[in-house]
Structure 1
């Protein structure tokens, strides 16, 4: 399977060229430097999740549009076959299970957070919603200075078009599935 940063570079370049955008214009739209965008397009770097979100938000795309492969009729996804996106020194692992498809308007991730891990997420595009289904551990989500504790077997839905923070508040690894809906 092709590495994520290679797919990301190819997809970013294709989207940029299809839209007739220069690297300068993409840098202006996303807040990511022209040099970094060039390195990403050439597959020379593996950007952080935060950088990928900046690109996705700036270009008004779903996150997985940048890392997806063409879909097939039936897809059986095994997490072990996926290359996770890593943050916080590998303590925050995101597995892109089902990439965004314009006709479906959502994408699905499986996420693992080690004990003590915290991840800040920038605001997504207007109207974007997240649905979080916790399978193990205790996840705390902070939105507008309010904390929501979500335990194993529970779920939460919220408007993700504002900054939000995920925190593993327990003694065990947190595993959850995230569905991100794009209106």
Structure 2
């Protein structure tokens, strides 16, 4: 159960208002966002506090920004079939030492099935990964030279424009062995 604190934005009613303004049913918003109908109902009634991932899915499905939701603003209508996510609203993940940044480019409703990331690794930086779910596979396309991929006992260097495909259900790593920052596109596929 959610408890309300002073000055806490009322997310549930704001979600409901945005949904109704778009003439969407709970079922339709559930289908667009990947959030279950029962969870949506609980959120709208203030009976559940949504996680960041759930809010992200809902704001993308409603084509609104977090700030609009929190401030109760209704953005101008956009009936375009093209969704544009501003760079400032693209979530990032950094490794412990900050030498690697993953920009989450895939929509949240595909998490756990297929995910894609913009990858930036500082010179000498390493992204170590524990095994993902059984059958998981990664595809790394290098935009710059200097990337080295390890998966299990195998290790390969890849040049600019090359793609490495490797099992990700074993310990794996991506290292920048060059003296310049490295960039690439990382796609994770789950079975």
Q: Is the Cα contact below 8 Å between 1:82 and 1:95 reproduced in 2?
A: yes
Distance 1:66 1:75, change over 3 A: same
Other structure's SS at 2:105 match: strand
The answer to whether the aligner puts 1:146 opposite 2:154 as a matched pair is: yes
How far the C-alpha of 1:89 sits from its partner, in A, is: 2.5
Give the alignment's Cα RMSD to 1 decimal.
3.3
Distance of 1:152 and 1:66 partners within structure 2: 36
How far the C-alpha of 1:100 sits from its partner, in A, is: 4.8
The answer to whether the aligner puts 1:107 opposite 2:115 as a matched pair is: yes
Residue 91 of structure 1 corresponds to which residue in structure 2? 99
Q: Which runs of 5+ in 1 are unaligned?
A: 1-13, 19-40, 44-63
Distance of 2:141 and 2:89 partners within structure 1: 22
How far the C-alpha of 1:103 sits from its partner, in A, is: 10
Residue 134 of structure 2 corresponds to which residue in structure 1? 126
Of 164-173 and 84-93, more deviation after overlay is shown by 84-93
Distance of 1:93 and 1:101 partners within structure 2: 21
Distance of 1:181 and 1:141 partners within structure 2: 17
Q: Point out 4+ residue stretches in structure 1 off by more than 6 angstroms.
A: 64-67
Matched ranges for 1:133-172 at <5 A: 133-172=141-180
Q: Is the Cα contact below 8 Å between 1:137 and 1:173 reproduced in 2?
A: no
Deviations 1:93-147 (A, max 9, x none): 0100113535993111101000010121000001111111111132111112221
TM-score, with length taken from structure 1: 0.58
Deviations 1:64-91 (A, max 9, x none): 9678423445333454542421114321
Matched ranges for 1:37-76 at <5 A: 68-70=56-58, 71-72=60-61, 74-76=82-84
Q: Which runs of 5+ in 2 are unaligned?
A: 1-34, 40-48, 62-80
Instruction: Give the aligned length.
Output: 127
Other structure's SS at 1:132 match: strand
The answer to whether the aligner puts 1:181 opposite 2:189 as a matched pair is: yes
Distance of 2:185 and 2:54 partners within structure 1: 20
Q: Is the Cα contact below 8 Å between 2:151 and 2:167 reproduced in 1?
A: no
Residue 116 of structure 1 corresponds to which residue in structure 2? 124
